[in-house]
Amino acid sequence: MNIPFSSVRFLWKIADWVYPPVCAGCGREGFRFCPQCLSEVKVLNGSRCLSCGRPISINQRFCDYCQEVPFLITDLCSWAEFEGPLREAIHHFKYQQDVALGDFFCTFLIAIIEEHKWQFDLVVPVPVSKSRLKSRGYNQSELLSRPIARYFCVNHSTKALKRVRETESQFSLSSKERNRNMEDAFLGFPAKLNNKRVLVVDDIITTGATMNQCAKSLLQAGAKEVYGVSIAKTIRHRN
């Protein structure tokens, strides 16, 4: 679906006037995501394990539990923990056509990308399969990746990386199993990727297996470096 992004903000203003929004976190009227819900978001500060999200020391990439997963991505970061009102809001964003949330969440993603000082020349969303795109009507990650590309004045592409295989639900799988499940799910297109530094955008990162497989396909097709960013990250808390 082609959404006219240039006029999106103006259209939302009209839509908000006709139908005032309700908070995607708690249902309160007059907000897309209310200040109370925003204050409850657990923003992920400091160094985090790229796979499980546990806090680690500054010179590490992985915690002791996650060392075995080979990661191809140069750097990966999420805004906040996937829980509470944010979890609720992402559900609305993904499954209930609450597409205006894309613009709202983008602000936070842009801030963390700037903080990391990543250099990239192409932005791509994590692709969804054709059947999912058809049933949902939109790719939620694209609602984030387009405004990010626009903000940083770099190219955006939905054709550089395609999903070529439908994958099983990852819900009950371990991190290793997820990597296997995502194997060869994506295909990168060399004409669009040669020597490019690519930023991949997703709504949620669970173990990083999806991002990792995206990176693998992008690098195989000639990309030079791959970065990943998402709104939320599932944190595996261990005692």
User: Which one among 32, 41, 48, 63 touches Zn ion, defined by CB under 5 A?
Assistant: 63
Tell me the C-alpha distance between 215 and 152, whole Å: 21
Who's near 10: CB < 8 A, 6+ residues apart? none
> Can residue 66 be called a binding residue for Zn ion (CB under 5 A)?
yes
- Containing H/E element for 80? strand 75-81
> Can residue 182 be called a binding residue for Zn ion (CB under 5 A)?
no
> Can residue 49 be called a binding residue for Zn ion (CB under 5 A)?
yes
- Candidate ranges 25-33, 114-122, 189-197, 222-230; the one touching Zn ion (CB under 5 A): 25-33
> Can residue 205 be called a binding residue for Zn ion (CB under 5 A)?
no
> Can residue 51 be called a binding residue for Zn ion (CB under 5 A)?
yes
Nearer to Zn ion, 139 or 213 (CB): 213
> Can residue 34 be called a binding residue for Zn ion (CB under 5 A)?
yes
Tell me which residue of 211, 167, 165, 214 sits closest to 188, measured CA to CA: 214
User: Which one among 23, 80, 204, 211 touches Zn ion, defined by CB under 5 A?
Assistant: 23
Tell me which residue of 162, 187, 175 sits closest to 71, measured CA to CA: 175
The SS3 of residue 128 is coil
> Can residue 80 be called a binding residue for Zn ion (CB under 5 A)?
no
The SS3 of residue 135 is helix
Which residues lie near Zn ion (CB under 5 A)? 23, 25-26, 28, 34, 37, 49, 51-52, 63, 65-66
